[in-house]
Amino acid sequence: MKLRLRRSLFCALVLTSFTALAGAQSASEAWQSLFDGVAQVDDQHNSIAATADGGAVVCGFSYEEDAPGSGIFVPRAAVRSLDASGQVRWTQVFASGAFGGTAFPTRVALQPSGRAVVGGATDFGEDWFVVGYEPSGVQAFATVWDLNSQLLAQPADLALDAAGNIYLCGDVSDPTFGAAPAVAKFSSNGTFLWSTTLDATLQLTTVRGLGVDAGGNVYVAGSLASGFAYDFTVAKLDASGTFQWTRSHGSIDPSGNDFGLDVHVDAAGRVLAGGYVSNDLMTSMDASSVAYSSTGQLLWRADWDGPNGASEFVNATAFDDFGRILLGGWRFSNAFDREAFVVAFEPGGTLAWSHVLAQAGTDEEVLTLATDGGGAALAGGISMGFTGRTGFVSVLRPDGTLAGSFSYGASAGDTYFLGACAGDVGRWFAAGQLAAPGTAPDGLALAFDTGALESFCQAGTSSQGCVATLGASGVPSASASSGFTLTAGGVDGVRQGLLFYGLNGRAALPWGTGTSFLCVKSPTQRTGVQLSGGTAGNCDGQLSLDFLQFVAANPAALGAPLQAGAVVQAQAWYRDPPASKSTSLSNALEFLVQP
């Protein structure tokens, strides 16, 4: 392998950011962090996860010399923890197997305890590993699964269940080079529990992503060979790894290649999957989303064919707990350049919005995508010019409009983003690599903020067709006794209702059988009952509360006295007799208490 040598002091010269359409944007960069490994050759971040304290854990690879002076450089997994200001808390390197140890990480995820778990491949892809690090950086466990695959391929995805158990999936092969998808489960402490290899001709031919439900059932997305083509396929394994069912859908083209890229189980138990299909006899690829019940019943399928009937290729997927599916990738423009896009589907398959992202290069692609509880999104990827690639990050509001767009790197360099996630209260993270022309890349991690107030959760539609929307005005200051008002508008007229709040994070619990969700984790604090006003039968009622005034007047209330840095979730509830549970709920707000 030929490695590029680094030019000194280029980082300060080429790392730049800019905001396009500044007058219409509200996102801003909070910090950026570069990682240059000990050998000062190739370094890359490919996955990032938000921590509870506003920071992040990022993983990737760093090439290191096998032995001093050997001239042999091998990849090793690098894991870093960054605090809320982007400062490095700790860095750990993991490797195993040949040449003093090698490792390519696939993804990092956080267990409920805050322990960081990284999974990937060792021995240049022959074996898989999982390694865990405590919040302090101390290694909790390291397990290598000796699967002796001949494919030399790393796992495609990693997922955790609610108990912190670890799942990996990927394509493996036997000594005869017969390939098939495999799923492996490890305990929360890294102990190997079971593995299942799927039938490549009947169940699943290749796997791209996996998700786990509350009962430990595993769902995988990929493709199943059908003649000379491949169909978009989802398969289910039970909690012991036993195969349950396969469901496929594809294009009208019998020779089309259709791919499922990832799968997720939402709070209602729906199995959501995203990918792309060929719908026009090989003349066009379309972004595709699908939902199944846990028993494999098709709930809905929705495809998106963008403007001018051009092909859409999906690289990245994102899901939330309310059934929304987001897909990002690239499509051909009229000039046959690549245009980056993001498209969002509501539960039921209705198109929520689509956005083609205009960047500076001739070809753009979304490579990573994340969404939050309110339907907002962050898309990251590459903008390719004639001499090199720059990386871009775009923050999108819940309605798909642009909140901020940022570009990184030199036009003749090699910069892009491969990982993204949402944190709390409008914070977003992205991870990738930055390289100046002719130099080896550094791992790059970034944080963005969209403000200290964020809407999340899906508002219910009342029996009268009203959708209560919770908003706020003023500043939630711990040093003030009034001046921050929560107001829910669009409430059914002449109804009793109230506002309530919590301090323990977001929830996504179906409210009976209606369209509302309980979005605030317990314990919660109710405020006083009030009348919405307005006119009976109309949607002109409202519920309003000065939050600071309520807390100041009720010293025994949850969170009193308020402390700067506290994160509050609030929601509105109101009477709706014909509805499930005889009540309906608004969306929710999350806000950060200021000094």
Q: How far apart are the first and last CA of the chain?
A: 53
pTM of this prediction?
0.84
Query: For residues 304 and 287, what is the distance between their CA atoms, to the nearest angstrom?
Result: 5
Give 41 or 169, the one with higher predicted confidence: 169
CA 266 to CA 468: how far, in whole Å?
23
Q: Please report where in the chains the tokens 């605030």 appear, as a residue.
A: 520
pLDDT attached to residue 336: 73
HEC profile of 214-255: CCCCEEEEEEEEECCEEEEEEEEECCCCCEEEEEEECCCCCC
Total Cβ atoms within 10 A of residue 529: 12
**Measured in whole angstroms, how far is the alpha carbon of residue 211 from the centre of its chain?**
13
pLDDT for position 252? 65
**Whole-number pLDDT of residue 511:** 94
Q: Is pLDDT at 425 greater than 50 in this prediction?
A: yes
Taking only the tens place, the pLDDT of each residue in 314-358 is 999 999 877 889 999 999 877 778 899 999 998 889 999 999 987
User: Which pLDDT does position 461 carry in this prediction?
Assistant: 95
Banded pLDDT at 360 (limits 50, 70, 90): low
In this structure, the number of other CB atoms found within 10 A of the CB of residue 163 comes to: 12
